């Protein structure tokens, strides 16, 4: 078998860009997918990855991605990483447009891309033997609700359910279905998107939290899971900083050992 090829969505920044970089360091061919062509071009120049600009909420863009992948070589793994949050308003007061966007990018885009790439994974297995992997980055917000989570909780719970059902449906095929659910990850854009570009609000959740996760921490977990022996399926990986016990339970300030009684 030659060089393995992985498709990574949400590749223009944060966890996605870090994942592209690490896969390339590990010798994989990578196709990075995102909306922003300029960011992708810079990532391609830096890493040697192949890039494909696409809006994954648009079916014609996903179809074009599928056709490009089919024409350009085998696909061994898919990392569904594209996602995001909007706002911290209550269920009562939050904007329905924010909910619609969160479902489009966190749930329907995952379904679109998975449906498009799954036949290509099967073709690769048929031609080469071995196995394939579908890994989706969700969130601990898809497992534990929190105040202000509203639409993001609902979308990530749905993404988690999607992966659970997909794993049942693919039972009997050599295709692993893996979910990585990060907790607090400090990236350059997640908070800015959530709070409409307000840098002060975006920075506030991380204030005085010792060592929130980095994009590289999550990328390391993703690549490790994909590179495990093909008979090993890490169904669900929850990764949080030590300072975070739950979505709404964070230690702020230095972590210190409690004195003995």
- Interval 220-245 mean pLDDT: 97
- Spatial CB neighbours of 180, under 8 Å, sequence gap ≥ 6: 135, 136, 137, 138, 218, 221, 222, 225, 237, 239
* DSSP code at position 40: H
- For 72-124, the pLDDT digits (tens) are 999 999 999 999 999 999 999 999 999 999 999 999 999 999 999 999 999 99
- Spatial CB neighbours of 161, under 8 Å, sequence gap ≥ 6: none
pTM of the model: 0.94
Specify the pLDDT at position 188: 82
Ranges 25-39, 50-64, 181-195, 229-243: which has the least confidence = 181-195
Ranges 113-127, 191-205, 212-226, 229-243: which has the least confidence = 191-205
Burial of 190 (0-12, 13-18, 19+ CB in 10 A): buried
Q: Tell me what percent of the residues of the chain surpass a pLDDT of 90.
A: 92
Q: Considering 152, 157, 190, 195, which one is annotated as catalytic?
A: 152
Is 206 marked active-site?
no
Specify the pLDDT at position 196: 86
b/e code 71-92 from CB counts within 10 Å (16+ = b): eeebbbbbbbbbbbbbbbeeee
Separation between Cα atoms, residue 241 and residue 156, nearest integer Å: 19
């Amino acid at each position: 078998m030659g060089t393995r090829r992985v498709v990574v969505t949400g590749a223009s920044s944060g966890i996605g860009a870090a994942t592209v970089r690490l896969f390339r360091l590990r010798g994989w061919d990578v196709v990075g997918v995102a909306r922003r062509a300029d960011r992708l071009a810079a990532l391609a120049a830096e890493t040697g990855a192949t890039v494909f600009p696409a809006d994954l909420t648009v079916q014609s863009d996903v179809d074009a991605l599928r056709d490009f992948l089919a024409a350009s070589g085998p696909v061994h793994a898919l990392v569904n990483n594209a996602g995001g949050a909007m706002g911290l308003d209550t269920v009562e007061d939050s904007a329905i447009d924010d909910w619609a966007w969160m479902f489009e990018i966190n749930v329907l885009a995952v379904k679109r891309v998975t449906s498009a790439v799954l036949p290509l994974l099967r073709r690769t297995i048929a031609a080469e033997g071995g196995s394939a992997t579908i890994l989706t980055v969700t969130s601990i917000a898809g497992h534990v609700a929190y105040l202000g989570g509203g639409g993001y909780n609902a979308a990530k719970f749905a993404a988690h359910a999607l992966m659970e059902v997909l794993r049942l449906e693919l039972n009997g095929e050599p295709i692993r279905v893996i979910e990585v659910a990060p907790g607090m990850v400090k990236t350059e854009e997640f908070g800015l998107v959530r709070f409409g570009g307000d840098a002060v609000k975006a920075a506030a959740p991380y204030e005085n939290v010792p060592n929130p996760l980095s994009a590289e921490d999550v990328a390391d977990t993703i690549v490790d899971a994909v590179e495990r022996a093909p008979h090993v399926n890490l169904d669900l990986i929850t990764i949080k900083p030590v300072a975070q016990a739950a979505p709404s339970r964070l230690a702020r300030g230095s972590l210190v050992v409690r004195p003995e009684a």
